[in-house]
Amino acid sequence: MWQYLTLLGVTLNFKIKMFADGADIEEIRKLRQNPKVSGFTTNPTLLAKSGVLDYPAFAKEAAKIAHPHPISFEVISDDLDEMYEQAKKIYTWGQNVYVKIPVTNTKGTSTGSLISQLAKEGVALNVTALMTIKQVNEVCSNLKSDVPSVVSVFAGRIADAGIDPIPVMNESLVITSKLEKCELLWASPREILNLIQAEKVGCQIITMTSDLWKKTANLGINLEEFSLSTVKMFYNDAINSNLKI
């Protein structure tokens, strides 16, 4: 079983929860049957990519399919007062729903006051698009220890900036661990190695796109065999393309 491997000098049994990231109903239905999937996340970009036109209808159906696993839906306003109203509506879409709140609006205004108000009202939150320790500290100062929450730190985008995300994730875990029901999520993974890294850090959750779910088949593969299959792929593609020299 690939759940039990020794990689990066650590024996893994994958305590981390793997959430499927996407906004396609049929894909959600399919992944719901996968025992490795522990939850689901969506965002407006994924909704647009999937061509979702009726957000509430999609979300209610997705939440029903995902149940009892948690699923996150994001507000779509840039105004904090309107975000609040949307959050309250979204939270009624299913018993397993977390409301996604961005760490700021598009003007860079902190959503801390909104997060604080919703947490006080017992709304389960997934605060998203964090990339700095300052943001993690501020967000966590507005969450409540006894209300379920997820803090999504975009480790993949931190790496895209040429910065090692591991120290950020390690420090973020120290901060989020002070809140009893808060979980740290490794967001925007770029490769399957990020799963191993997130497990080693101790993150409670990682999001996985459909491409990454496919790559889990390579976990623990013998590298010489992997090398040979790569050579065969290049050769077969050359033959099938009728390449000539």
pLDDT at 75 over 80: yes
Please tell me the predicted confidence (pLDDT) of residue 220: 82
Domain for residue 156, yes or no? yes
Max CA distance (Å), the chain: 69
Considering only CA atoms, which of 14, 80, 69 is closest in space to residue 42? 69
Number of domains observed in the structure of the chain: 1
**What is the pLDDT averaged over residues 55-68?**
98
Strands 97-102 and 5-7: unpaired
pTM: 0.92
Candidates 100, 107, 178, 244; catalytic one:
100
Please tell me the predicted confidence (pLDDT) of residue 12: 52
Domain for residue 245, yes or no? no
Q: Residue 153's domain spans which residues?
A: 5-240
Distance CA 90, CA 99 (A): 7
To the query of whether residue 15 is one of the catalytic residues in this protein, the response is no
Q: Residues 80-89: pLDDT tens digits?
A: 999 999 999 9
Residue 2's pLDDT band, with cuts at 50, 70 and 90, is very low
Q: What is the CATH number of the domain that holds 209?
A: 3.20.20.70
Decide: 19 and 207 in contact? Cβ < 8 Å.
Answer: yes
pLDDT at 154 over 80: yes
pLDDT at 14 over 90: no
Domain for residue 149, yes or no? yes
pLDDT at 7 over 60: no
